[in-house]
Amino acid sequence: MFDGGPEGLKLEEIIPEAGGYIEAGSDTTAITLTYLVWAVCRKPFIRDKLVAEVSALPPYFTQDSVRDLPCLNQVIQEALRIRSAVPSALPRTTPPEGASLAGYRIPGGVTVST
């Protein structure tokens, strides 16, 4: 693949490679977006805030203006954090003094995963 010489890959080599990458990511993207829409629809106060924020964009908005929307970015980050379609453990260690969460006491130095 990397032996294309100084001219690099030919177009007929690039197209199937690019298509493969797009196709490989379509399921995870669809699953994550499905969860995001479901979660937003379940919380009217979040849905209303998100709709108001996006509706305030000008008709011909830029990528920079979307990047700067706090509610939209929070919703995306939470969807990726809570229901990522890519399996992974996010191990964290409690601080030395321990931590409390939802009425439960977790001792210091304990590894937890989400």
State how far the Cα of 30 lies from the Cα of 10, in Å rounded to an integer: 31
* Low-confidence winner among 15-29, 42-56, 70-84, 98-112 (lowest mean pLDDT): 15-29
Check residue 1 and give its pLDDT: 44
Q: What are the boundaries of each domain within the chain?
A: 5-83, 89-114
Angle between helices 11-42 and 44-55 (to 10 degrees): 130
Q: Which residue spans within the chain are E strands per DSSP?
A: 92-93, 99-101, 104-106, 111-112
Kindly report, residue by residue over 1-13, the tens digit of the pLDDT. 445 556 677 888 8
CA distance 35 to 59: 27
